[in-house]
Structures are given as C-alpha cells and as structure tokens.
Amino acid sequence: MKPRMFIRFVATVTLAATLLCAAPAFAKDDAAKGGKDKILDVQVLKSAGGVESWLVEDHTVPVISLNFSFDGGLAYDPDDKPGVGRLVSILLDEGAGDMVSQDFQGKLSDNAISMSFTAGRDAFYGQMRTLSKNRDMAFDMLRMALTQPRFDADAIVRMQNANASEIRTNMGDPAWLIARTFNGMLFDGHYYANPGFGNLLSMTTITRKDLLDFVREQFARNVLKVSIAGDITKQEAQMAIDKIFGSLPANAAEVDTPEAALGYPGKTILLPLDTPQTYIMMGEQGIKRGDKDWESAMVMNYILGGSSFGARLMNSIREKRGLTYGVYSSLTSMSHAAIIQANMSASNEKVQEALGLLKSEWSEMAKDGPTAQELDDAKSYITGSLYLELTSTQEIASALNDMQRDNLSPDYINTRNDIINALTIADIKRMAAQLLKTDKLTTILVGQPKNINVDILLDKPPGMAEPAKPQ
C-alpha cells in the first residue's frame, strides 16, 4: 500500500475533570510493609479472547471510564481524500446496528453514557464513561458503534456540511492557520503534513465506502490498546473487553508509515494575512518519547518555555519587554517524528525583536544549561503536578492509554518522579546542547511582519484544496 498523505496538526488535549470523577486508587500494602506508596495500582489483564488491557480498580464512586486506541490513525486516510478519519470519528455515534442517530444518541443521553472518538496522527482514539449500573448497556453500545456503524446517507451529508463549515471558519482564524501551515510545511512530503479535518474538496468526494474501508482496515485487535479505571473488577473488565472488542478482526490492514524528515530547516516561511498581530511557530528536530533522555528533555523544556510564568522565554519576551501575551515551548513525540517547538504572537512591528530574543534564549540555554534554582523549581512543579493530573477516572484511563502507546511499563507512573528527581544540571545541559540549534529552526509566520527576510512566501495554507468554481 502506498504511503498515506493526510494528517492535521493536533494540539495537546487537556482532559478536564468531570462530575464523573473518582480519586486514584493508591496501593497501601507497600506502605504497610515499610515501603513507598504507589501513585496508581495498575493491573495488567488478558481477556479470554487474548486482548490485553490495563486496569485501575476503584470502587469509591460508581463510575467507569474506558479509553482505547487503534494504531494507525490518519495514515489510513486515502491519498486523495483527507478527512475520512475525521468524518468516521464524528459519525460513529450517529447510529449503529438497528438504531438510527436520534435513537442512539437519545439512549446515550438518557442513561448518562458519554462516548467520543478522535482520529489522530498515529492512532484512532475512543473514550467512554458510564455509571456502573449502566455498564452492560454502555459496553454494548460501544461495541455496536465500532462493529456496526450505520453511516446513513443523511448523517454523512449533515456531518460533511458541518465539517466544511468549520473548515471555512478556520480559514479565517490566524491561530488555526499558523498550526496548519506549520504542520503542512514542517512535514512536507509525509502524511503528517496533511489536514486531518480534510479540505473543502474532500468534503464533496468522500463516500460511505471510504468510511467503511477506514473502519474495516484499522479497527482490529492486533493494533488495539485498552485502559479502564473505576468501579469494575478484574474479572468484569476482562469480560467487558471481549464483549466490546472480541468480534473485531484479528489483524489490521498494513499501511506504509515512513519516518518523517523535517522540512525547510533554517528557513522562514510567511503566509500573509491582514491582521495587526503576526502569529509565530518555530520548530526543529526533537526527541522521541522512548528515548532514555526524555525526562531530561522534558525538564529542560519546562525551564525554557513551559507553562510557568518563570520560564525563560516568558520572562524575557513578555515580562521584561511586553512583546507578547504569551510564549511557550513544547516537546511533541509522534510515532514517526519528534519536534521541539515554540509559539507566540507579536505586533507586526515587534516580530523581528521577539524572534531575536527567542533565538537568544534558545542559544543561551544550549550553551549554559539551567541554574540550580531553575532545576529545583522545575523538579518540584513537575513531580507535584502529576497527582493533580489523576483526579478522575477519565484522566486515569487516558494516562494509562498514553503509557501503553508510549510502550512504557505499567509501573512507570510510580517511578517517574524518582527519575526526574535524580536528574542533574549536567543532564539538562547536555540535552539542551543536543536539541537547541537556532540555525535549524524552521520559522512559520502568519500575518504582516515588518523587516523580516522571508525565504518562502505562500499564497494559501498547505493542503487546503477547494472544489473547482463553476465557469
């Protein structure tokens, strides 16, 4: 099969705690024996049908959250039809089995069952939450959505129109345009470069067969990862996994997923837009999640431009000079690429100064590394915040699925803070020198920046084809 050529830029998703929440299940046995409490007691299960899943069992609140993912994601979009995975994700709850859309969604609503799906770069994701008393109904409805989606003609047209309307709105949003242009140019030539939401042309050409093919090719047990948290026992979870996923095909269709070489290193690319602010994204080669130095890179990034107002970029560009409302750096690890990037916006007249300061901070961190105080503060925040990210069954199930996808040990969540606390200034300095290279940064601008030398001038965001206009 040829490489697939469509993807969208996906921002990191923050999972908010909901009313359907429960505290993490702490393992007290270790403490009773004089050991250290675990953050989560993760059980690794194997169902009768051979599907592995991870479970955090907690019966304090009658709620169950289930997260799952199928490897592949938008790699399964047809070459000439970006957005198939996106339409599948918003159509799976639009009727399944013998239940039309109104009946299916009404049953979910009436029984406090939530179900959602996302087509991502490397996987197709799903999540479900239910009250314990409705679990059999919820599991059966999820099974039907995955194995018997209706994809009725009226629902397809309705969702194509809704998605096209969202695309048109996005095309006037500079925050969306900068992400689309960054993704399209940095991953030029790889399927990561293409718009996961599709474009206006593909919304007129995607058929029901395309949707069914996407499901048939990707939804299979050999690429499935499942995590569960909440009010369910080990035996009940094993039975639920087979009930939901047991009738799926054993193997997914093979798809070519090559490594992505980052495009246009050192170049400045401009998409002109009539706006008083220029939106800025810069990126270069990062580090994969499976690298032994990931934690060092994570701490280094927090000090450089993480979410804290004390981060160097924020202090230099916003606090001292007021050139931007916010400036951040981040690490993104994908199956076939890794980047470290920074983003901000500045008035058109101040873009040159803001870019110069960002590159200066980039270089200084690469040269000198962090101070002892910066490292201590970063360790304190990162280790402490872990507990705040695990306050609901939804957050726990999501965290477990992320760990599965990153090929981490089930016990990693209990050892991560020890790894971070053991890091030294030398570790962080070494990673900064390895990753932060100002001459390799690809700079994407959307706006009307003043006094900027542009290497590539675009006339439209990449990948956003439109139907031919009538003559």
What mean pLDDT do residues 449-464 have?
Answer: 97
Is residue 18's pLDDT more than 90? no
Is residue 276's pLDDT more than 70? yes
95-116 tens-digit pLDDT = 999 999 999 999 999 999 999 9
- Where residue 405 falls among pLDDT bands split at 50, 70, 90? very high
Query: Which of the following CATH numbers is that of domain 29-245: 3.10.20.30, 3.40.605.10, 3.40.50.2300, 3.30.830.10?
Result: 3.30.830.10
CB 375 within 8 A of CB 423: yes
Is residue 2's pLDDT more than 90? no
Is residue 145's pLDDT more than 60? yes
What is the CA 163 to chain-centroid distance, rounded?
20
Query: What predicted TM-score, i.e. pTM, was given to this entire model?
Result: 0.91
CATH for 268-457 is: 3.30.830.10
Is residue 439's pLDDT more than 60? yes
CB 457 within 8 A of CB 272: yes
Is residue 465's pLDDT more than 70? yes
Is residue 248's pLDDT more than 70? yes
User: Would 29-245 and 268-457 be classified into the same CATH topology?
Assistant: yes
Structure tokens at 284: 């270069």
Is residue 13's pLDDT more than 60? no
* DSSP letter assigned to residue 410: T
What mean pLDDT do residues 360-371 have?
Answer: 98
306-326 tens-digit pLDDT = 977 889 999 999 999 999 999
Is residue 31's pLDDT more than 50? no
Cα radius of gyration (the chain): 23
Is residue 55's pLDDT more than 60? yes
pLDDT for res 34: 42
CA distance 444 to 81: 26
Q: At what angle do helices 135-147 and 234-245 cross, to 10 degrees?
A: 30
Helix (H) or strand (E) holding 448: none
Place of tokens 């990210």: 389
What mean pLDDT do residues 121-150 have?
Answer: 98
65-98 tens-digit pLDDT = 999 999 999 999 998 999 999 999 999 999 999 9
pLDDT for res 239: 96
* All structural domains of the chain with their residue ranges: 29-245, 268-457
pLDDT for res 124: 98
CB 404 within 8 A of CB 71: no
CA distance 246 to 353: 58
CA distance 73 to 85: 7
- Where residue 345 falls among pLDDT bands split at 50, 70, 90? very high
Least confident piece of the model among 1-10, 287-296, 344-353 = 1-10
